[in-house]
Amino acid sequence: MKLNFDKAQGFVVPAKFYSLLNFELAKAEMPNPNLCALTFNFRDPNYTADKGGYHPVELRLEKHNELWQFIYITDFSYQGSSYPELVKEIDVCFETKRVYSLFGGWLNQRNAKELIKLFISNFIEYHAMDIYQTKINFR
């Protein structure tokens, strides 16, 4: 199965990102061809609160009128000193066309677009370095 994306969504996503998702989906065993939602989880198995590493990333896609749309892309990081826990560091919501940054709060459109461009570009490079283990949840 190949995902056909609705590219007219709120934020611009590079073609390499679409290809990356189709590449990961092609490796997965799909339980049902009539899916309506996918959640991709990208994890660096060596990422810890003490040693750092590459942040986990989660993204959700939903199917609308035969096209797949991004719902969100979230980057998590460990925060806290005594009892660190994973929190949202960057949260891109495609439905509301808003971006949240842990250190900047809700961003204006210009800053949001710049952060998304940098975040996705870095993510594509990390994926190319074979950093992540990928899990896909099907609905």
Inside any domain, residue 24? yes
pLDDT score of 132: 98
Cβ atoms of 25 and 3 closer than 8 Å: yes
Per the DSSP assignment, residues forming a β-bridge with 62 are 37, 69
pLDDT score of 88: 98
Report the domain count for the chain: 1
Rounded Cα distance between 87 and 98, Å, is: 18
- Segment 123-131 mean pLDDT: 98
Residues 11-40 pLDDT 10s: 989 999 999 999 999 999 878 878 899 999
pLDDT score of 32: 82
pLDDT score of 29: 87
Inside any domain, residue 6? no
Cβ atoms of 131 and 138 closer than 8 Å: no
Inside any domain, residue 52? yes
Determine how β-strand 85-93 pairs with β-strand 57-64. unpaired
Residues 43-75 pLDDT 10s: 999 999 999 999 999 999 999 989 999 999 999
Residue that wins the pLDDT comparison between 81 and 112 = 112
Over the chain, what is the mean pLDDT?
A: 95
Q: What is the CATH number of the domain that holds 57?
A: 3.10.450.430
pLDDT score of 33: 75
Q: Which two tokens stand for residue 59?
A: 């993204």
pLDDT score of 30: 79
Domain that holds residue 104: 15-132
Inside any domain, residue 108? yes
| Total-model pTM | 0.94
DSSP annotation of 121: H
Residue with tokens 């998702």, as numbered in its chain: 21
